[in-house]
Structure 1
């Protein structure tokens, strides 16, 4: 059997053209800066509505708790801004057996 010649594929004379490898996707939606601006605007609008509603709820001259007698505050209310250890010490004292 006679050996047949194999023809190798070669580039065309002058080479191949440039390959377009970039992604040409259309821009969709808003930019990041505009979404951030809209978010901050919505946040400010929400705070404005909240402050306005709080001002309407607390009318000047009305009593807040609707009572004239003195009510002793709870220990939790007095120690709310203090460290938790002080509240536990005040509530339970020195518990040596624990």
Structure 2
């Protein structure tokens, strides 16, 4: 569609002439996000890694 058909004007004069339209949250707000802090305890400990690197570079 052209500007003439939408706003019944020959051309848009300024952006300020356009109606203000802003997005907002839905009524009642957004649902809470699902997240959990899950830090796994798998893998070697810091001491095991230190000993392995010490042995590798010795």
Give yes or no for TM over 0.5.
no
TM-score w.r.t. length of structure 1: 0.23
Larger gyration radius, structure 1 or structure 2: 1
TM-score w.r.t. length of structure 2: 0.34
Higher helix share: 1
Higher relative contact order (CA 8 A, sep 6+): 2
